[in-house]
């Protein structure tokens, strides 16, 4: 491949050549294209300019063949990246939000637990009320309560033995017979009944023999073990939820919560009986009773 330059305007034979017929011009000379295979060859200056424009751009100060490296923040070691931190105000805002959320969750959780305790006690009270009505249908009256009518004595009553039904054993000590529940789980003597509950015996008791025998009946057959407590080793009805505050001990030193019962002179249900329990939840008293569907808070009843 060879390129020759001649004076502008003439060809090899001396004939004039128009500018558009020339392969290119340089300084008043005509550039003729001589190609191999018919491919045009560009002006040398043009080729150099094109080559320069196609070279990769290097970062300042780099030698030939070297590639630029990522720019790091001043003072950072290799592989480290600069990150933003929290300001004091931002930290205080986050802590405040966490505190509000924690208080909200505790409040919601406490409300759920309170409803559960109250609901369980109301269900147990309904079962006792059903048993009391069945007892009345059998005997024509409600079971006796503690004849000492001061409210504090409503907490200790013979309701458990009357609704469970008992048998009596007068053989060992006729003057102080022993009563045993029909399921055989609890016993009480006549003297204990008198000292604790103010009664001399149990009405719902199997007695007599032959055709004259009268059988006691268990009106609380679905009673659970956690619904029975003992006061001075004598069984009484309690609520399964407890205080439920551990610090609430209505009988003092005994960690269970008895059902209060009054059939002698009920002030809230004059023709029937008063049945209730006080629940202490989070330091507040909630009254579950048979004369109101509401749950009064901090009622003065013991």
pLDDT in tens, 177-230: 999 999 999 999 999 999 999 999 999 999 888 888 889 999 999 999 999 999
3-class secondary structure, 93: helix
Residue 19 burial by Cβ neighbours in a 10 Å radius (0-12, 13-18, 19+): exposed
Cα angle at 189 between 278 and 200, to 5 degrees? 75
Q: What is the pLDDT of residue 11?
A: 47
Model confidence at 159: pLDDT above 70: yes
Q: Which residues pair with 258 in a beta bridge?
A: 238
pLDDT in tens, 250-292: 988 788 999 999 999 999 999 999 999 999 999 999 999 999 9
Q: What is the pLDDT of residue 110?
A: 62
Q: Where are the domains of the chain?
A: 120-289
pLDDT in tens, 131-146: 999 999 999 999 999 9
Q: Are 226 and 240 in contact (CB under 8 A)?
A: yes
Q: What is the pLDDT of residue 92?
A: 87
Q: Which of 61-75, 96-110, 184-198 has the highest mean pLDDT?
A: 184-198
Q: Which residues pair with 186 in a beta bridge?
A: none
Model confidence at 24: pLDDT above 50: no
Rounded CA separation 293/287 (Å): 10
Q: Which of 61-70, 98-107, 231-240 has the highest mean pLDDT?
A: 231-240
Rounded CA separation 44/240 (Å): 105
Other C-beta atoms closer than 10 Å to the C-beta of 194 total: 13
pTM: 0.65
């Amino acid at each position: 491949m060879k390129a020759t330059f001649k004076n502008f305007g003439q060809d090899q034979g001396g004939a004039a050549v128009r500018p558009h017929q020339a392969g290119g011009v340089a300084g008043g000379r005509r550039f003729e294209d001589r190609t191999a295979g018919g491919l045009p060859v560009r002006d040398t200056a043009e080729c150099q300019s094109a080559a320069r424009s196609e070279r990769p751009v290097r970062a300042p100060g780099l030698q030939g063949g070297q590639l630029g490296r990522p720019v790091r923040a001043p003072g950072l070691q290799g592989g480290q990246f600069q990150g933003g931190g929290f300001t004091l105000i931002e930290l205080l805002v986050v802590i405040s939000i966490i505190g509000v959320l924690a208080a909200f969750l505790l409040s919601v959780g406490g409300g759920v637990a309170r409803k559960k305790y109250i609901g369980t006690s109301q269900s147990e009270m309904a079962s006792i009320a059903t048993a009391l009505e069945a007892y009345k249908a059998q005997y024509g009256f409600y079971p006796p309560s503690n004849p000492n009518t001061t409210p504090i004595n409503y907490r200790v009553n013979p309701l458990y033995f009357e609704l469970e039904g008992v048998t009596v054993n007068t053989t060992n000590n006729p003057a102080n017979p022993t009563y045993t529940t029909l399921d055989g789980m609890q016993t009480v003597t006549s003297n204990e009944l008198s000292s604790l509950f103010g009664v001399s015996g149990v009405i719902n008791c199997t007695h007599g023999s032959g055709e004259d025998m009268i059988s006691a009946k268990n009106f609380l057959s679905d009673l659970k073990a956690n619904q029975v407590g003992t006061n001075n080793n004598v069984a009484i009805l309690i609520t399964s939820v407890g205080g439920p505050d551990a610090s609430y001990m209505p009988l003092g030193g005994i960690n269970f919560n008895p059902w209060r019962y009054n059939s002698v002179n009920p002030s809230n249900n004059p023709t029937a009986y008063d049945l209730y329990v006080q629940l202490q939840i989070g330091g507040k008293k909630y009254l579950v009773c048979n004369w109101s569907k509401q749950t009064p808070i901090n009622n003065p009843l013991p």
